[in-house]
Amino acid sequence: MSDHWLAQLNVGVLKAPLDDPSMAEFASLLDPVNALAESSPGFVWRYTDEGSNDATAARPFGGDILVNFSVWRDRESLWNFTYRSDHLDLLRRRRTWFTRMSDMHLAMWWIPAGHIPTLDEARRRLERLRADGPTAAAFTFTTSFPPPEAAGAPEPAAPPRH
């Protein structure tokens, strides 16, 4: 068992309000896809608005920005859910519901196993990725980094600097 989990933040700009008819299919897929994530091997945690089953109401990053924020055992489990499950069908059609973003919109980073990251932490990781490109502190699927040295090596008291 690894000493580290993989956190990921993914943001998307909605093309229309979630209750708009053009978004109806996407809205109807939220619950099944969230359930699929939770039943996928390696799933640890996903962010939800307080008192809700999803993260579509609070909009902590802005009015039309949806947040997808979760924690996985490793890169492989996140990859298999993202690209090798029915979630892929949603990604295939994402232009139907989301505006294309020129900024990087998906950041991942290693966290000590047992830690549940905060939205602030996630925001800083995405900002870091946008500022510096992929580094061990915030990276992408295309340019990913291995987890920090496991058991045996001295564990840093705090996560890498933000």
Partner 1 sequence: MTGSGIDALGVLAEPLRRRLYDYVAGHGGEVSRAEAAEAVGARRNLAAFHLDKLVEAGLLEVSRRKVSGREGPGSGRPAKVYRRSGREHAVHLPPRDYGGAAALLAEAVERAGAEEALYAAAREEGERRGAARAGTAATEADLARVLERYGYEPAPVPPGDRAARSAGCPDAADPPAHRPMPAAACPVLRLRNCPFDAVARSHPPVACGMNLELLRGLLRGAGADSFRADMAPAVEGCCVLISAVAPDSKTNSD
Inter-residue contact 156 to 136 (CB < 8 Å): no
Q: Which residues contact 82 (CB under 8 A, 6 or more apart)?
A: 88, 91, 141
- Position 130 contacts partner 1 (CB under 8 A): no
Question: Residue 47 CB, nearest distance to partner 1 (Å)?
Answer: 20
Q: Which residues contact 11 (CB under 8 A, 6 or more apart)?
A: 61, 65, 66, 67, 68, 101, 105, 106, 126
For partner 1 (CB under 8 A), the number of binding residues is 20
95 is an interface residue for partner 1 by CB under 8 A? yes
Give the DSSP letter of residue 23: G
Length of the chain: 162
Q: Which of 36, 104, 113, 119 is the binder for partner 1 (CB under 8 A)? A: 36
Binding mask 52-91 toward partner 1 (x if CB under 8 A, else -) reads ----------------------------x-xxxxx-xx-x
C-beta closer to partner 1: residue 19 or 103? 103
Could you list the residues that contact partner 1 (CB under 8 A)? 32-33, 35-36, 80, 82-86, 88-89, 91-95, 100, 102, 142
